[in-house]
Amino acid sequence: MTNQSRPKDLNEYIPVFHWPKDTSRFVFERATRADGPALNDLYNRAFGQRRPLSHFEWKYWANPAGAPYGVIAKDRATGAALAAAFGQRRRVWIRGREVPANLMCETSSDPTARSGGVAFKGVMHAIGIGLNDEAGILWSYGGQSSDEAITVGSRWLGFRVALTLEPWECRLSLAPALRAKIGGAGAALARIADPILRAPWRRPPGFELEETIDFGPEHDRLWERFRDRHALCFFRDSATLRWRWRDCPVGGNRSLLARRDGQPAGWVIWREWQEGENRIATVLDLWTDGDQETTLALLDGARRRAAAAGCVFLRFAVKPGTPEAAAVQADGAWRPSRYERPDRIIVTPMPGSKFDETPEDYEVLRVVVNGANWYYLQGDCDFLD
């Protein structure tokens, strides 16, 4: 509900939601863990997937930030899920303060159901009510949001594009290009040409790189050391990292920890995955003090390992004007990607019933609505999960 005492510059960002009315066909309910099979089935039907229930359980219920929040529109007669809005709990660090958040991951409706649009709009309004009551302050939606999601979300839910990540890529192999030109012989020729392609890669001196997909005290210390560099960033403590990357059922996640003079200096996490005929590596998390040499050492370590694993590109989506963007531009081997579209992050700030609306709280909301404050990488959303 609009708060008349709230500063005008914030009121325009915060939508008014109404709990939807049940119909003769469906009812709206807060989703519980018992709804997992129905929600997972709806996801599979809506997106043509075969995701096992165990994956759904990991994504939402194993999360150390807490149980998810979601709303489901159920068929009165069968109990089947007709539409759902479901998101992960996330912890966010905003100006030295831990803030609860919700990352919208799966919004869907049954593609065969009548009145699907009504049900979908209803669950989206309902989740807005619930988040305002229980989970404020931040409601974000990432993962290469489509034009349709942005348009509909802006009209119905007050979504705004907070920031955009621009994708860059480092070519690791000439195999795709040579295969396109000369067919099957291209792969053999690439084995000769690729060492020449990689020869200019620079390996910054003075770093030791350790590959591990487990996370512990050194990662916690780095998280605590660097988090106040950013006005807003999602939690990266070891418990979150273990859940997000080590335990992720998708697989293909790899991580390097950099040390300089024996002391931890930062980490990079990337995922190796299949895109058609090609093996791709995508940087999903990078955590440093902003030092360019540390960033370049980690990216160089990732690309060498990804190339050895048969990947043909290493991709990294960065916010323009950041130290990360400056690093990839300085390296010389990176180019704007011709294949990956920009990643737009949309957000609605949610005051929440526990929000006291003090001057300090208002400042938190101002941080949220200004994308310049965000430190955000593709792994902060549910990238290919």
- Looking at the structure, do residues 118 and 49 belong to the same domain, yes or no? yes
- Identify the H or E element spanning 5: none
CATH number at residue 248: 3.40.630.30
Quote the CA–CA distance of 125 and 83 in Å, as a whole number. Answer: 12
Of 101, 67, 326, 64, nearest in space to 220 by CA: 64
Quote the CA–CA distance of 375 and 380 in Å, as a whole number. Answer: 10
pLDDT value of position 92? 93
* CB atoms inside a 10 Å sphere around CB 182: 12
What does the pLDDT look like over 73-82, one tens digit per residue? 999 998 889 9
Share of the chain above pLDDT 90, in %: 58
Candidate from 91-105, 238-252, 257-271 with smallest mean pLDDT: 91-105
- Looking at the structure, do residues 25 and 132 belong to the same domain, yes or no? yes
- Looking at the structure, do residues 110 and 229 belong to the same domain, yes or no? no
What does the pLDDT look like over 262-274, one tens digit per residue? 999 999 999 999 9
Torsion angle (degrees, nearest 10) of CA 170, 323, 65, 363: -150
Quote the CA–CA distance of 354 and 202 in Å, as a whole number. Answer: 50
What does the pLDDT look like over 156-165, one tens digit per residue? 777 788 899 9
Candidate from 22-26, 100-104, 277-281, 309-313 with smallest mean pLDDT: 100-104
pLDDT tier at 1 (50, 70, 90 boundaries)?
A: very low
DSSP-assigned letters across all residues of 262-297: TEEEEEEEEEEEEETTEEEEEEEEEEESS-HHHHHH
- Give 96: exposed, middle or buried? Use CB within 10 Å, 0-12, 13-18, 19+: exposed
What does the pLDDT look like over 316-369, one tens digit per residue? 999 999 999 999 999 999 999 998 889 988 888 776 655 667 788 788 888 988
The helix/strand/coil state of 214 is: coil
Q: In this structure, are residues 290 and 229 in contact, taking their beta carbons and an 8 Å threshold? A: yes
Report the domain count for the chain: 2
**Block residue for tokens 């929600």:** 39
- Looking at the structure, do residues 104 and 253 belong to the same domain, yes or no? no
- Identify the H or E element spanning 127: helix 116-134
Q: Check whether 37 has a pLDDT greater than 60.
A: yes
Q: Check whether 243 has a pLDDT greater than 50.
A: yes
- Looking at the structure, do residues 20 and 146 belong to the same domain, yes or no? yes
- Looking at the structure, do residues 170 and 299 belong to the same domain, yes or no? yes
Quote the CA–CA distance of 161 and 163 in Å, as a whole number. Answer: 6
Q: Which pTM was predicted? A: 0.93
- Looking at the structure, do residues 153 and 170 belong to the same domain, yes or no? no
Q: In this structure, are residues 324 and 318 in contact, taking their beta carbons and an 8 Å threshold? A: yes
Q: What is the DSSP letter of 70?
A: E
Quote the domain boundaries for residue 241.
166-336
